[in-house]
Amino acid sequence: MSDLANKIVILVTGGSGLVGSAIRWEWIFARSSEGDLRDPEAAKKLFEKYKPTHVIHLAALGNLFGIDLILADNSVVGGLFKNMKYKLTFLRDNTLINDNVLQTSHETKVKKVISCLSTCVFPDRVQYPLDETKIHLGPPHESNFGYAHAKRMVDVTNHAYHEEFGSSFTSAIPTNVFGPHDNFDLEDSHVIPGLLHKCYLAKKNGTPFTVAGTGKPLRQFIYSRDLAKLFIWQLREYDEIDPVILSVGENEEISIKQVADAIVKAIGFEGDYKFDTTRADGQFRKPASNAKLLRLIGNFTFTPFDQALEETAAWFVQNYDKARIGQVPKANEPE
Ligand code: NAP
Ligand code: GDP
């Protein structure tokens, strides 16, 4: 599937009439080169330029290309291994970004902000399944406490803005997300894009495919396209300050081994693969309930995992030259 085929362009005929005017939304997709949101002045300039009435706040540390950052390497986005390495950077930079986005939204009278949290905000030791009432019941897992605390504070801040100023600032908690346009760095990425890239190179170069950890941890994955639809629902319909978990059901947890098997199939890798059990497993599981979401939305059809993974793998293979692949060791470089 080409990148162009993935692009969604919506034509609304009769768009200037009564009905058309009621659904006219202008979307601005800002990236860091438009303004480094760790800088309050850059945040102000961005908001002055576009004058948003609503904000979906996804920016997080984050793709660091183009930003003058203190990190010693050139690595990008999160995932277990990156979160373990840069706890202070993730804590400080995400705190700055979140504070600047919310305070600028407040100052410029934005009507609604939805900030994106993550299931890592939840306590490590808490009764499962995770649900929206349990965020602040204990410390997060130690492997990513910097990122988790920065994200957790968004919920606290949303409530404070609401109580002091009546602001409609809320948040969403997706489980692990994957899909086209992810960061496919070999190491500093999440499990699905990282393993897709490793498996792709193993097939191409006839080298071993190695999965980090034991393969036993369980995760709930949501396809980025399903998540996008849920954000639009939340923007239109959701009135609470408290977060809502955006996820497939807690009965749809799958193991990292099942993920690796699906990746082997999607890439068409025929060799053996192994687990490097010297590497960290991270949290064993963090099952999250989507009961609140389903109660509010009524019904929602999630894309089946295998289909979503195949679409993602096909996108990655077809877009290898322009995907975010990070630094690939010389021996593995594509011809
Ligand atoms: P991503 O692919 O790394 O994209 C991060 C986005 O944030 C990019 O647009 C990036 O812009 C921007 N950004 C980073 N630093 C910035 C800065 N200092 N100033 C302005 N913009 C900045 O991340 P993602 O996976 O789409 O994640 C989106 C949100 O979902 C994040 O809040 C993340 O915490 C949350 N989330 C993700 C997952 C997951 O599994 N991926 C799971 C749960 C929650 P550039 O591209 O220009 O750098
Ligand atoms: P998180 O732990 O939920 O934040 O998310 P990740 O996407 O980083 O998934 C981590 C899990 O996948 C851990 O159990 C890792 O041991 C396992 N894993 C296996 N191979 C990889 C890999 O190449 N990259 C990452 N990030 N995790 C991997």
Q: How far is the CA of 274 from the centre of ligand 1 (A)?
A: 30
Ligand 1, residue 176: give the atom nearest the CA. Answer: 40
Could you tell me if residue 304 is inside a domain? yes
DSSP symbols for 22-70 = HT--------GGG--TTSHHHHHHHHHHH--SEEEE---S---TTS---
- For residue 199, what are its two tokens? 């498996």
CA 244, CA 238: separation in Å to the nearest integer?
9
Residue among 334, 215, 325 at smallest CA distance from 273: 215
Q: Who has greater pLDDT, 162 or 187?
A: 162
Q: Please tell me if the CB atom of residue 246 comes closer than 6 angstroms to any atom of ligand 1.
A: no
Helix, strand, coil fractions of the chain, as percent rounded to 5: 45, 10, 45
Could you tell me if residue 165 is inside a domain? yes
Could you tell me if residue 74 is inside a domain? yes
The number of folded domains in the chain is 1
pLDDT in tens, 126-151: 999 999 999 999 999 888 888 899 99
Name the residue at shortest CA distance from atom 36 of ligand 1: 118
- Band the pLDDT of 108: cuts 50, 70, 90: very high
Residue 91's CATH number = 3.40.50.720
- Band the pLDDT of 11: cuts 50, 70, 90: confident
Please name which ligand lies nearest the alpha carbon of 37: 1
**5-9, 137-141, 208-212, 284-288: range with lowest mean pLDDT:** 5-9
Its domain, for residue 11, covers 2-322
- Mean of pLDDT values over 286-315: 97
The contacts of residue 133 (CB under 8 Å, 6+ apart) are none
Mutate to test the pocket of ligand 2, among 119, 191, 196 (most ligand atoms within 8 A of CB): 191
Please name which ligand lies nearest the alpha carbon of 211: 2
Q: Find residue 254's DSSP bridge partners.
A: 219
Please name which ligand lies nearest the alpha carbon of 183: 1
Could you tell me if residue 333 is inside a domain? no
Mean pLDDT (the chain) is 88
Residue among 118, 97, 77, 217 at smallest CA distance from 85: 77
The contacts of residue 6 (CB under 8 Å, 6+ apart) are 180, 315
Q: What is the pLDDT of residue 69?
A: 34
- For residue 172, what are its two tokens? 């969403």
Could you tell me if residue 329 is inside a domain? no
Are 243 and 170 in contact by the 8 Å Cβ rule? The answer is yes
CA 197, CA 199: separation in Å to the nearest integer?
5
CA 130, CA 147: separation in Å to the nearest integer?
18
For the question of residue 128 being annotated catalytic, the response is: no
pLDDT exceeds cutoff 70 at 80: no
pLDDT > 70 in the chain, percent: 88
- Band the pLDDT of 331: cuts 50, 70, 90: low
Are 115 and 235 in contact by the 8 Å Cβ rule? The answer is no
CA 82, CA 95: separation in Å to the nearest integer?
17
- Band the pLDDT of 222: cuts 50, 70, 90: very high
pTM: 0.92
Q: Please tell me if the CB atom of residue 281 comes closer than 6 angstroms to any atom of ligand 2.
A: yes
Name the residue at shortest CA distance from atom 2 of ligand 2: 80
- For residue 261, what are its two tokens? 């098997």
- Band the pLDDT of 8: cuts 50, 70, 90: low
Residue type, 115: S
Q: Please tell me if the CB atom of residue 190 comes closer than 6 angstroms to any atom of ligand 1.
A: yes
Q: What is the pLDDT of residue 84?
A: 64
CA 43, CA 101: separation in Å to the nearest integer?
7
- For residue 136, what are its two tokens? 């602040």
Could you tell me if residue 250 is inside a domain? yes
Could you tell me if residue 265 is inside a domain? yes
Could you tell me if residue 328 is inside a domain? no
CA 87, CA 34: separation in Å to the nearest integer?
26
CA 140, CA 124: separation in Å to the nearest integer?
5
pLDDT in tens, 24-73: 788 899 998 999 999 999 999 999 999 999 999 999 874 332 233 333 33
CA 298, CA 277: separation in Å to the nearest integer?
42
Ligand 2, residue 144: give the atom nearest the CA. Answer: 4
User: How many residues in total does the chain contain?
Assistant: 335
* 3-class secondary structure, 219: strand
pLDDT > 90 in the chain, percent: 73
pLDDT in tens, 248-272: 999 999 999 999 999 999 999 998 8
Name the residue at shortest CA distance from atom 48 of ligand 1: 63
Q: b vs e for 13-35, b when ≥16 Cβ sit within 10 Å of the residue's Cβ?
A: eeeeeeeeeeeeeeeeebebeeb
